[in-house]
Amino acid sequence: MRKIDPEKHAARRQVILDAAIVCFARKGFHGTSTAEICAEAGMSPGNLFHYFPTKHAIIAAIVEVERQETAEFFRELHEASDLFAALLGFMDVVLRLAADPVFSSLALEIAAEATRDERIGELVAANDADLRTALATVIKAAHERGQIDAAIDPEGGARWIAAIIDGIFGRIAVDPGFKPLEEAPMLHLLLTRFLCPTG
Amino acid sequence: MRKIDPEKHAARRQVILDAAIVCFARKGFHGTSTAEICAEAGMSPGNLFHYFPTKHAIIAAIVEVERQETAEFFRELHEASDLFAALLGFMDVVLRLAADPVFSSLALEIAAEATRDERIGELVAANDADLRTALATVIKAAHERGQIDAAIDPEGGARWIAAIIDGIFGRIAVDPGFKPLEEAPMLHLLLTRFLCPTG
């Protein structure tokens, strides 16, 4: 019996996910065939099937990777001495992701698909709930340190920060004049006034 | 030769658009056939074709109606004595539209399609540019009356208000706890702090 090398297995999985992300961003989930993902990954359909039995399993894995990366980011964020500054740093990461055409196309594709495919909708909603929990936890901890206005309800504040993140990707879809990396000062102003009006 | 009754023609067009909106919101543009739109509108394919030669023409008409309605809203808005309060009133209309499941599904569908179909992308971008121009005009007029902080650049402020509108619809897609009508106080707080921090 052949043994599976875990590192090799993980690396091959990542090659498939990277190939799929490129294809999905280019043509959408429905417009992409598994044959195209195989071609992009330089892999046979049989081999691909060994890692991901369905296209849906690939999408689920992409969303799961994003969840893990966000969780990791927020674990580190809590070590910052200034939590509001760290939150602005997170928003700068969001702007950088929005400036990446592959990432932003994929984000819009996932958001659209979430409204039609119940399973993807559940995965995305779970990620979003995790993000809001992480943001609310930051706001609560910042309250204790006097770094965010105590009048901002953690859950409500988190919800509107999440809305602003959605909005950043929405801009990418419709507004060619929206240059995410140039928008950092205005976004910082908006969040500072919203969350620390007297700061 | 048969004469066209303009009122009857407009009414029939509207019946088709309303039927198409229901179908698109339910199954997306690609998932909806013209046969389904005909069935929903209670009309023969030949009759539908007389009003709209393609599915794309229907989508274009829906986006155009939205453009006209927004323009009309902002023409009236400028008659308000308090432009910032009127702007908050506009955002309350946005929350009401977001609370309408058919409208919000359609908005997400259009945003997603704009990234893939160049013609729809152009229509949506033109509408968005009109909206931002209208918002920037309100901010400029409000500057003159001291109703919005002069430090808010009209174009930049308009761009972030548009992002917040995108974000409201983004919430609908992923966050079942986001109840648009209940979010008015937090949205008002956010916009008041952003646009009139000393107001």
Are B97 and B145 in the same domain? yes
- B-facing residues of A in 140-159 (CB < 8 A) are 153, 156-157, 159
Residues B39 and B21 both lie in one domain: yes
Say whether both A67 and A94 belong to one domain: yes
Determine, for residues B125 and A194 on separate chains, whether the beta-carbon distance falls below 8 Å.
no
DSSP structure class, residue A79 = T
Euclidean distance between CA atoms A115 and A121, whole angstroms: 6
> Do A97 and A184 belong together in one domain?
yes
Residue A199 has pLDDT above 70, yes or no: no
Q: Does B164 touch chain A (CB under 8 A)?
A: yes
- Window 124-143 of A: residues touching B by CB (8 A cutoff) are 124-125, 128-129, 132
Closest CA to B88 of B196, B197, B187, B193: B187
C-alpha distance from A39 to closest chain B C-alpha (Å): 22
Kindly state the average pLDDT of the residues B178-195. Answer: 97
Q: How far apart are CA A132 and CA A187, in angstroms?
A: 18
Q: Which of B31, B116, B164 sits opposite A164 (nearest CB)?
A: B164
Tell me how many domains chain B contains.
Answer: 2
Q: What is the pLDDT of residues A128-178, one digit of tens each?
A: 999 999 999 999 999 999 999 999 999 999 999 999 999 999 898 889 899
Final residue of a structural domain among B34, B53, B72: B53
User: Residue B1 belongs to what domain range?
Assistant: 1-53
- Cα B33 to Cα B52: distance, rounded to the nearest angstrom: 13
Instruction: Among B53, B71, B88, give the residue marking a domain's end.
Output: B53
pLDDT in tens, A13-28: 999 999 999 998 888 8
Q: Are residues A110 and A24 in the same domain?
A: no
Residue A171, pLDDT score: 93
Q: How many CA atoms lie within 13 A of A23 on its CB side?
A: 23
What is the per-residue pLDDT for B27? 84
CATH number of the structural domain spanning residue B113: 1.10.357.10
Inter-chain touch B164–A167, beta carbons under 8 Å = yes
Domain match, B107 and B173 both: yes
User: In this structure, are residues B73 and B96 in contact, taking their beta carbons and an 8 Å threshold?
Assistant: no
Residues B100 and B36 placed together within one structural domain of the fold: no
A166–B165 CB contact, under 8 Å? no
The pLDDT of B53-82, averaged and rounded, is 93
B10 and B24 part of one domain:
yes
Task: Give one DSSP letter per residue of B86-98, joined into a string.
Answer: HHHHHHHHHHHHH
Whether residues B38 and B85 share a domain: the answer is no
Max distance between CA atoms of chain A, in angstroms, equals 67
* pLDDT value for A56: 86
**pLDDT tens-place string over residues B14-36:** 999 999 999 988 888 888 999 99
Same domain, A106 and A166: yes
Q: What percent of chain A has pLDDT over 90?
A: 72
- From chain A, pick out residues whose CB is under 8 angstroms from the CB of B197: 193, 197
CA distances from B84 to A114, B71, B74, B146, B161 (A): 35, 18, 13, 10, 12
Split at pLDDT 50, 70, 90, the class of A105 is: confident
> Judged by CB atoms within 8 Å, which residues 5-44 of B form the interface with A?
27-28, 30-31
Instruction: Find where tokens 């303009």 sit.
Output: B6
Cα Rg for chain A, rounded, in angstroms?
19
Write the residue in A112, A163, A178 that is nearest to B164 by C-beta. A163
The CATH number of residue B15's host domain is: 1.10.10.60
Closest residue by Cα to residue A191 from A91, A96, A82: A91
Q: Which residues of A touch B159 (CB under 8 A)?
A: 171, 175, 177-178, 183, 186
Same domain (yes/no): A15, A91: no
Interface test with A, best of B174, B175, B194 (most A CBs within 10 A): B174
The pLDDT tens digits for B140-172 are 999 999 999 999 999 999 999 999 999 999 898
* Residue B33, CA distances (Å) to B25, B56, B58 in order: 13, 11, 12
Report the residue of chain B nearest A107, measured CA to CA.
Answer: B112
Confidence of residue A114 (pLDDT cuts 50, 70, 90): confident
- Residues A64, A28, single domain; the answer is no
Residue in A115, A116, A162 closest to B175 by CB: A162
Q: Where residue B51 falls among pLDDT bands split at 50, 70, 90?
A: very high
Tell me the pLDDT band of A97, cut-offs 50, 70 and 90.
Answer: very high
Residue B7 has pLDDT above 80, yes or no: yes
Test A183 with B28 for CB contact under 8 angstroms: no
Question: Is B169's Cβ below 8 Å from some Cβ in A?
Answer: yes
